[in-house]
Amino acid sequence: MSTQHQGVTIEDLAARAIAKGARLGDDPASTIREYVARGVLRPAPSAGPEAGAATFDDSHVWTILLIGEDLKAGYTLDQVRERMGSNVYLSERGLSFVRSHRGAPVPEDAFVPGRALTRGEMAVILHWLIESVPDPNEVRRLLGSMLVLDTGEPAVSLDAFADEWEA
């Protein structure tokens, strides 16, 4: 059964995530449905004639990769859901980097120190970094210093998305 979300099926979302290195088990669509049901992956509500329906975009692919990294690090789905709800901030270094690269897909108010990013915005920033910074070691270094949790710990593992560059 194909679940439709504004032109993108969960199966298509799964295929996109797998193409980026996600490991979603034997039934990827069921895994994503489980993430949604458990509140780990939060689709955006649609507007217009399909109001109330869930929608997915490329930021959800990167969120699925973040979920996978947390699971790989030993977190349970309940812990991942809590982490997904944690505030994520651009560090001072992150603010400087994003300000100097005006092509960054970050809302203007994200340039305010102390303003929490949504996980979706964080996923978009990760996607932008991976696509625009050619050196994987530089991306890893930036990830470790740009995005931080309330506690000050990195929001993303330095090993996140390693498979993306090792191909």
Number of domains in the chain: 2
- Is residue 149 located within the same domain as residue 118? yes
Q: CATH no. for residue 36?
A: 1.10.1660
Query: For residue 136, is it within any domain?
Result: yes
Q: Tell me the pLDDT of the chain averaged across its residues.
A: 74
Going by pLDDT thresholds of 50, 70 and 90, the confidence category of residue 30 is: very high
- Is residue 100 located within the same domain as residue 71? no
Cα(92)–Cα(50) distance, integer angstroms: 40
Query: For residue 81, is it within any domain?
Result: no
- Is residue 31 located within the same domain as residue 54? yes
- Is residue 90 located within the same domain as residue 71? no
Identify the domain boundary among 41, 75, 109. Answer: 75
Query: For residue 55, is it within any domain?
Result: yes
The answer to whether the beta carbons of residues 164 and 21 sit under 8 Å apart is: yes
Query: For residue 159, is it within any domain?
Result: yes
- Is residue 69 located within the same domain as residue 118? no
- Is residue 153 located within the same domain as residue 106? yes
pLDDT higher for 73 or 53?
73
Neighbouring residues of 57: CB distance < 8 A, sequence distance ≥ 6: 8, 44
Closest CA relative to residue 10, chosen from 72, 53, 48, 52 = 53
Give the number of C-alpha atoms closer than 13 A to the C-alpha of residue 143, restricted to the C-beta side: 25
**For the packed helices 58-72 and 119-132, what is the interaxial angle rounded to 10 degrees?**
90
Query: For residue 80, is it within any domain?
Result: no
- Is residue 104 located within the same domain as residue 147? yes
Going by pLDDT thresholds of 50, 70 and 90, the confidence category of residue 28 is: very high
Please list, residue by residue across 55-66, b when 16 or more beta carbons sit within 10 angstroms of its beta carbon and e when fewer do: ebbebbbbbbbb
Query: For residue 20, is it within any domain?
Result: yes
Identify the domain boundary among 48, 75, 102. Answer: 75
Q: What's the pLDDT score for residue 86?
A: 72
Q: pTM score, two decimals?
A: 0.62
Range of the domain at 11: 4-75
